[in-house]
Structure 1
Amino acid sequence: MPSPPNPKPCSDTMRPARCLGMCPERERSERQKQGRLHRLELVTGAAVKEWRRPAAGCEAVAPAELRPPAVLLQTVRHLMEKVVPRAELGPEPEPWPVVHDFVMDRLRSVRQDLSAQRLGGDAAAAILEQSLRFLLTGPLWLGRPPSYHPRPREPGSIDAQVRECFSRLLATYSEGEHKNQAEFEALALLYDLGSDKALHRALQLPARIQDSPEMKLAFSINHALAEGNYVRCLRVVRRLPFLESCAIYRHISMLRHRLLRAFSHGYSCRNCRYPLQTLVELLAVDSQDIAADLCQQHGQQVTGDWVCFQKSSYRDPDTNPGLKELELVTRKQGNRTRSSIIQGHRVTVTEL
């Protein structure tokens, strides 16, 4: 009995890229005939290649469908300079959820072409860096920041895309020097706060990276977490710039939760009262109302401007408290536009 024919293998070599437009002509024509050009493609006057799930059998992508590095960079620049600002410009800006979903899909398509050609170097680093800035900040602007979840997320989720981008970017950094490496090594460490694997990798980096202001802040928070010093963790979080705050935000509820658990044990006394305003500062929240709500979710009694911590009444909340409290992060954006942040215009981190 003859063996069944093997399916066409995935490409494992560099493939020539011959598509010189942001969208292959075949796809643009097809989507135009079907009325599937996105509104943002119509208003900006440029179609951009959609992300498509790889076909069964993993056939190699035709060269005419692949965009070379220069075109991929041009596509990212178009998304950041022409599409993202649509959410902020004019009397009737586009809703951010519409812009966010469109850009996320098109950036995923850019990375798909990048992967198909096995591209590295400065072009790959620039694309992956801007992808990460977008993926880390986008959910905060949606008002739905990602929460910490120890189990793997489904493929295509924001968390999965962030991890994929970090994995590929850090591998690219290992091949040579890049000007933004310290920034993104720190972001990776903050995103995986408390991970032994992430910390071990960071400790193997060259001294010039480890000694950068960005890495010093990231190491400081990791060390404070390892020591159970949640007050110091949140104090340093207050000092983080906007992008770093976006990266660590999914862990902030955990830090506040552990701080309140420690206080409920350490200050448990029937006649002991703790000032609520001091707790506002330690929890890095913006008002006494938010601090009081967090305490009550943990079973602690709040009377006026005071908290009475009781170990016996402590309880773990059913949901992650504080996830909708975004001021700690969003106010750090200042007057900078979303486009400028994603493209890398940032506030310099001060030395510890």
Structure 2
Amino acid sequence: MDTSPLVGVCHDMCPERETQERESQKRLHQFEIQTVQWTYKGRRGHPIADPQKTVKEYRRPAAGKDLSRPVDLRTPATLAKTVQYLLMEVWSSVSHKDLSCLAKAYSFVFDRLRAVRQDLIVQKIRGQEGAYVLEGSLGFLLCAPYLVRDLPLADYDEVLHSTQVRECFAELMDCYKGGGEFPRQAEFQSLLLLYNLGNLDTIQRGLQLPSEIRQSAHVCLALGINKAHLENNWVRLFRLVQQLTCLQACVFYRHLASTRSRALCTLIHAYSSRNCRFPLDLLTRTMALDSPSLTIDMCNKRGQPVTSEEQPTVLFLKTALKDVKPESPGREINLVEQKKGKASWSEVMIGQDKILTNLPSR
């Protein structure tokens, strides 16, 4: 039997056979159709696929479909351009304030990125070519939970999303093992450390990285945050978190609510005294909250009184501490959005210096 890896020869974002099939079955996504549709005697006809917009969809291997035809497998360069098209053209065209449109864009990009990874796996593409594609895909997967935080559960499956993140990380780390130059390796090693915050296996793996990667600013910062987390040193942890990049902050976002809750409970026990007052502004800065009102809300929910003086303070009383669930994560201006600066979210996901030119136009 021939065990040599398959080599894709498709240079389009969607193979011609699939485009025709989905067009005839009316399974084109709204992001893939032409603005002009055929009509016959005033009747609405089949939506027509736009070759510059149609992107190969994810298909389960058990669906009885042949996934190994070279003409249906995209080349590494095409996969890279597909990732950038999905992020730079499709995702960037959506208003994040329109939840309905945001949900459609998220489901479309998420599905098409799964198909990109599927093509990588079938062809066993590794090394620099595989890493480049996976890094762009991971950029979206890591930022998306922050950007779609207001979507209903029906539109955002957190378990499925997390599964894709972990699989994508595993495949990316395999690409790095093959050797070669990977300009963003230190960044993504730090993202893995932050994603699995406090995981001893991940920390041990990070400590065993090659010295030039382990001693990079990205990895040192991520290891420092993990160390502070394991030591319950919340003051140091939030000081370090302030140094994260926008992409790193999006990764840490998944731990933010629980970390703040644990930090506040620790401070309540440490400073519990009827004769002790903790400045509200200091507490707000310590936990990297955007406003004192958010701090007051957290304290009130936990039974901690806040004075209404000119400079408000918090009276920590561990005897009055209420056991409540961590607050649902919301918008984070200081920790996330200010760090984005003038860059678009797509540029944050891809890396501003990694953007290709001559992408298909929508």
Q: Normalised by the shorter chain, which TM-score bucket?
A: 0.7 to 0.9
2:346 aligned to 316, 329, 339, which one? 339
Which one is further off, 39-48 or 257-266? 39-48
Partner of 1:252: 256
Partner of 2:19: 28
Instruction: Establish whether residue 281 from structure 1 lines up as the match of residue 288 from structure 2.
Output: no
Which one is further off, 248-257 or 75-84? 75-84
Question: Which consecutive residues of structure 1, in runs of 5 or more, have no partner in the other structure?
Answer: 1-10, 146-152, 347-352
Partner of 2:127: 121
Question: Which consecutive residues of structure 2, in runs of 5 or more, have no partner in the other structure?
Answer: 35-49, 152-157, 354-362
**TM score, norm. by length of structure 2:** 0.83
Instruction: Establish whether residue 99 from structure 1 lines up as the match of residue 105 from structure 2.
Output: yes
CA positional deviation for 1:62: 2.7
2:197 aligned to 188, 193, 197, which one? 193
The answer on whether the counterparts of 1:86 and 1:93 sit within 8 Å (CA) in structure 2 is no
CA positional deviation for 1:93: 12
The answer on whether the counterparts of 1:87 and 1:96 sit within 8 Å (CA) in structure 2 is yes
Aligned length: 325
Q: 2: CA distance between counterparts of 1:84 and 1:196?
A: 35
The answer on whether the counterparts of 1:274 and 1:307 sit within 8 Å (CA) in structure 2 is yes
1:41 aligned to 12, 32, 43, which one? 32
Query: Residues 232-257 of structure 1: CA distance to partner in whole angstroms, max 9, x if unpaired?
Result: 10111112110000111111122211
Partner of 1:161: 164
Instruction: Establish whether residue 293 from structure 1 lines up as the match of residue 297 from structure 2.
Output: yes
The answer on whether the counterparts of 2:290 and 2:332 sit within 8 Å (CA) in structure 1 is no
Q: Percent identity?
A: 40
SS at match of 1:320: coil
CA positional deviation for 1:133: 0.6
Partner of 1:18: 9
Instruction: Establish whether residue 229 from structure 1 lines up as the match of residue 236 from structure 2.
Output: no
The answer on whether the counterparts of 1:301 and 1:308 sit within 8 Å (CA) in structure 2 is yes
Residues 136 and 60 (structure 1), Cα distance of their counterparts in 2 relative to 1, 3 Å cut: closer
Q: 2: CA distance between counterparts of 1:239 and 1:70?
A: 34
The answer on whether the counterparts of 2:61 and 2:67 sit within 8 Å (CA) in structure 1 is no
The answer on whether the counterparts of 1:260 and 1:298 sit within 8 Å (CA) in structure 2 is no
Instruction: Establish whether residue 130 from structure 1 lines up as the match of residue 136 from structure 2.
Output: yes
Q: 2: CA distance between counterparts of 1:55 and 1:13?
A: 22
Q: 2: CA distance between counterparts of 1:225 and 1:63?
A: 48
Cα-Cα RMSD = 2.5
Residues 339 and 325 (structure 1), Cα distance of their counterparts in 2 relative to 1, 3 Å cut: closer
| One-letter amino acid of the counterpart of residue 17, structure 1 | G
Q: 1: CA distance between counterparts of 2:217 and 2:150?
A: 29
**TM score, norm. by length of structure 1:** 0.85
CA positional deviation for 1:94: 9.3
| One-letter amino acid of the counterpart of residue 329, structure 1 | V
Query: Residues 60-93 of structure 1: CA distance to partner in whole angstroms, max 9, x if unpaired?
Result: 533332222222122223223322221269xx99
The answer on whether the counterparts of 1:234 and 1:255 sit within 8 Å (CA) in structure 2 is no
Q: 2: CA distance between counterparts of 1:282 and 1:57?
A: 55
| One-letter amino acid of the counterpart of residue 49, structure 1 | K
